[in-house]
Amino acid sequence: MKMMFKKFKRIIVLSISMMGLFSIVSQAQDYECYPTHWFTGMKNPSLQVMVHSPGIGNANGYTLNYPGVTLTNVQKVENKNYVFLNLKINAAAKPGTFQIKAAGSGGKADVSISYTLKPRRNGNGKLYAQGVTSKDFMYLIMPDRFSNGDEQNDRIAGMRDQTLNRDTVFNRHGGDLKGIQNHLDYLKQLGVTAIWLNPVWENDMPNRTEHGYAFTNHYKVDPRLGGNSAYTSLVNAAHAQGLKIIQDAVYNHVGLYHHTVVDPPMKDWLNQWDVYTNTSYKDQTLFDPYASKAQNKQMSDGWFTKEMPDLNQRNPFVAQFLIQHALWTVEEFGIDGWRIDTYAYNDLNFMNRCNAALLAEYPSLTLFGETWVHGVINQAYFCENTFQIPYKSNLQAVTDFQTLWGITDAMTKDFGWNDGVNKLYTTLAQDFVYKNPMRNVVFLDNHDIARFYSVIGENVDKYRSSIAWLLTTRGIPQFYYSSEFATTGVTSPSDGYVRLDFPGGWKNDAINKFTEAGRNEKDRLIYNDVKTLANFRKNAPALTEGKLMQYLPEDGVYVYFRYHPKQTIMVVMNTAKEEKTINMSKYTERTKGFSKYYDVLTQNNGSLGNFKLGSYKAVVYELKP
């Protein structure tokens, strides 16, 4: 790791030492602007354009002449290959393209920089930036592993990673955005209302580029996924079918080959260390009143991995670069919400500023952060909570790892005072720490952790009960692609094994689980559970808007209710190793006035009364008078 860091540091030093050797050039293609373009009618009229071009910072002056647009300030930085132009775009500005003139020096030619303003989208809050709520059912997809809709983009000439080998989890497989678009009907029939995609931005790295978390260009959708046009097409097609799009935001780090790493604008663009320093991954140091300042710094400023340089979000230019990209993405593509990667590793004051900027422009947008931590207090620290502490997060919600650990214990550990399903009960009993726990995202697995079906020993009854819990508990349920067929996979020896291809996503696949004919008996059983519950909950106010009342687990039996003035749902889970008798007299506080039930999964009706429930089985009853 030290050798790699020394090489990386040498690149930075070399780049900065050569700043003065470059001169302004006149070729129009010899500059890049970030953002690539902007929009009229934004609530915040300020825009900072990063211009990257050899020697652009050596210009004698910068001017523009376009109605409604003012160049308010020019900021030159250490690296003369960059200049930051601060513009004000007032309400009178019209869409169009204007020129920014950079005057040459020492006999060098002037540079004319073209910049375009587009009109804002119509329908904010109705057609895009809608956000997700507990009425939604999110489906997480890793594009490279879902479906190959366009074989022409499987390899892209000039990109560093030329692998294409489905026989190994370490290479690219060729899935793309067109493949997802081709299967929107399948997702809608399953009951999905929102699609969360792992990152789509260019990852021009030498290897392991399937996951998308090492950006090398913030304004270019990876061409192997189909590029910007394919993303636009997917979002538009999804919206036309009433499906929302959640984008994976990565603020903490970039890839080693990002232009701001290869040719950094300034020495403190990244969090630099004398020797390579990894984050400690210990979130406790951020809120521990007794924590070492040095260890607090390591948690926040240490690199996530040596391939992903850590951005210094306290640098105002870095902060503005990231915030503007977030705003640009919502407006350019019309996405509906953000899942924010590695939330705890960002500078938290920056995150508050970024969240506020997004919500100022898009009040209905949803923001939820990845908080892979252990402990309800730990998790709640990073989102809107009830704590009276100096740092107050404005993040709406989190990916709820604590309830994941709870349902995992319920299905893998024997019942005890603190063990088994009591862990799940106790976790939910602490919801008072959240400002709005109904916004938390609940899940069984994702792209970083073992498939839940493998975690519970491939027990079908346990899996069906866990799905019943997921789609009836409080919060926003999220499902991981192909888990509707009880897909297996563990993270050892590689996380690639939890990122296997969706069977049928490639034209020569022997099995196609997008069709009923391609599913075996177990597949049909699990798929039908998911489809039935997901579609039922769309019109179930108790599940999407209602309150939660849970009862103390007894001998492995866990009972809870979701209730609303218009509906009451009763869920019973038996996490014991033997059949149990459910005594309905214990739950009269919520069953009073009801004498019948509708079994949501079997679609049978019956009379309320004591009943027997098998080991690791669950029922979901809609109560009737």
Residues 203/216, Cβ–Cβ less than 8 Å = yes
> What is the rounded CA–CA span in Å between residue 555 and residue 552?
10
Scan for tokens 């540079």, then name that residue: 111
Phi, psi for residue 18 in degrees, rounded to 5: -95, 5
Query: What tokens does 263 get?
Result: 């040719």
Q: Minimal CA–CA distance to 248: which of 339, 322, 331?
A: 339
Cα-Cα-Cα-Cα dihedral sign, residues 74, 76, 77, 80: positive
Residues labelled catalytic:
341, 370
On whether the CB atoms of residues 99 and 114 are closer than 8 A, the answer is: yes
Q: Which of 353, 352, 275, 258 is nearest to 311 (CA)?
A: 258
Distance CA 129, CA 135 (A): 16
Indicate the pairing of strand 567-574 with strand 618-624. Answer: antiparallel
Q: How far is CA 173 from the centre of its chain?
A: 21
Largest CA distance in the chain: 93
Is-contact 177 145, C-beta < 8 A?
no
Q: Are 265 and 317 in contact (CB under 8 A)?
A: yes
Closest CA to 397 of 383, 385, 387, 386: 383
Radius of gyration in angstroms for the set of CA atoms belonging to the chain, rounded to a whole number: 26
C-alpha–C-alpha distance, residues 425 and 305, integer Å = 35
DSSP letter string, 535-547: HHHHT-HHHHT-E
Within 8 A by CB and 6+ apart from 322, the residues are 251, 311, 313, 350, 354
Q: How many alpha carbons fall within 13 Å on the CB side of residue 151?
A: 4
From residue 129, how far is each of 348, 521, 595 by CA, in Å?
Answer: 23, 39, 43
DSSP state string for 332-343: HH---EEEETTG
205, two tokens: 């790295």
The two tokens of residue 325 are 């990209």
Answer yes or no: are the C-beta atoms of 279 and 220 closer than 8 Å: no
Residue in this structure with the two tokens 């997480």, named with its chain if needed: 140
> Hey, what amino acid is at 374?
H
CA atoms within 13 A on the CB side of 446: 23
Q: Give 607: exposed, middle or buried? Use CB within 10 Å, 0-12, 13-18, 19+.
A: exposed
